[in-house]
Structure 1
Amino acid sequence: MKISREVKTAILVIGSILLFFWGYSFLKGKNLFDTSRKFYVLYDNVEGLNPAAAVTINGLTVGKVSAITIQPKTGKLLVEIQMDNDLPISKSSTASIYEPGFIGGKQIAINPNFKDTNYAKSGDYLQPNIVLGLTASLEKNLAPIQEKLDNVLANADKLVININEILDARTKTNLKETIAQLNETMANLTAMSGNMGKIVTDNREKLGTAVANLDKTTSNFAKISEDLEKAKLGETVENLEKTLVNVNKMVADMESGKGTMGKLMKDDAMYNNLTKASKELELLLQDVRLHPTRYVNVSMFGKKEKPYVAPTEEQPKK
């Protein structure tokens, strides 16, 4: 059977149209002969997610985003996910939009809930989730820092304005003079340091001798300390404390009138008797000196002893 030219042309045109639609759909991420499963997720914001973006499970690519459409009534975005494998996914699984890196676009990571056996079928909806990428996380964390930096810069501007108000012409002149004097002082200190270095260099031998003497003195002090330790200084101090306690007790007894010294200090009668006895002893010695023959009488011819006459305080002149 011979096919006419018109039939061949019609078949070619129809085939071209079908091929065109298939190619157009393929470029849009759709495959007319595709039998894979499709799941849907509703997001408030897709965060830069594009069609044909990869869909992964634990880092393994298992599908792609086939379409993103906006819902007229709610304003939410409906994302269609096309999966090429038969891995069972529960309805409680989440589909998280995340950023795999700085260069690549956003992707969707499915976090399956293996404990849930209520598996989703093609056309079911999954739970939405958005994971902040590194850029968004940095932006979120840098926002308060930027606010604080703005406050710091504002305070710095105020500080500079206040400094400009303080540093008038007179203050600047005084500051310059102070800096000049400080430079002069530093120069003097440098010269003094040089002189000190020269003095140390010139008297290095004497300084060495002084240090040696100091070491010797330190050794002597250590020896003295050791000798004092051997001399039982602690025991001596303890005995001295006991002696002081006894002296204090003796003084207290004397103050209270106890003992001979206490009575002598506190008893007026005893003091008067001692004074009177001392006076009488003085008179007796004076009479012995003036009339020794009354007490020592050596007579070879038997003279009679003169009668005793009590001495008086004032002896008569001869």
Structure 2
Amino acid sequence: MSKELKTGIIVLIIIIGFFWGFNFLKGHDLLDGKARTFYVEYSKIGGLNKASAVTLNGLKVGQVSNIVFDERPETRGYLIVSFNVESDFEFSKNSVVKIYSPNPLAGSSLAIIPDYEGKPAVSGDTLQGEMEESLFTSIGERLDPLQTKVEKVIEKADTLFGGINKILNKKTIDGINTSVSDFSVIISELKQTIKSVNSFVANNQANLKSTIENTKNITENLTQVTDTLATVDMNAIIAKAENAIDNFNELSKKLNANEGTLGKFLNDEKLYDNIEAATKELEQLLRDVKLNPKRYVHFSVFGKKPKEYRPSLPDSLRLIKD
């Protein structure tokens, strides 16, 4: 046997021993022919990888051998995990294989939750899979929607602040500063006005008190007047007023109907004409008495007979006679 052949055999033995020792240290004995292979399908594996440990009731009984995608159309995107179980411990097909994380810093592992009802599981069977949510996985799943909402809020806030920056240009800021200054001046003037009002009230406190007392007296007098009016029999007054109005209406009707002396006097035109003619004759009589008093009044000391009255002629006839 040549030296090169011996060297090759030694190297091959070392490689095989290293590979066997590495798998033995990981809990997989290549010389044990009792290892069984099972399959589980998951929608997500949460950090599970090849060579992850497989435990049964807390005892390591195997490891994950392979992870591939499911190519079937109805389950496309799912992951098929195959693992070896080197223990001859029996459990049924109803057992559940759960992905869990033993601690936050370690990777995920598989835990077989055995079920002893039904047919025993044999190599090549597909078992039911579940995934136990770890603390960080649960927090991450809850934070993902929150992160999306926060990102949208940040985008809207960025748009809002961009609009505010466009609005708050130098001219607008100067206007705001001017408005604030004017507002300060208004507040100062308002303070001065309040001080003036307080001073006026303090100086005229006696007058204000007297005014308030007078107002109170007026209010009391008005109250008394109101009480007096309340005691007046308004119904009787209204009834008397209505009676007076009815009497006046009755009198007016009689006057218009030529009843009585006053009604005939107001409505009889003939009476009016006679009175007017008598007035004219009385006026002529008074005028004649004034012009010819001797005609109506005669006084004689010696009893002389008065001359016979002769009516005076009109001026036109007197001129013809002359």
TM-score, normalised by the number of residues in structure 2: 0.45
Structure possessing the higher radius of gyration over alpha carbons: 2
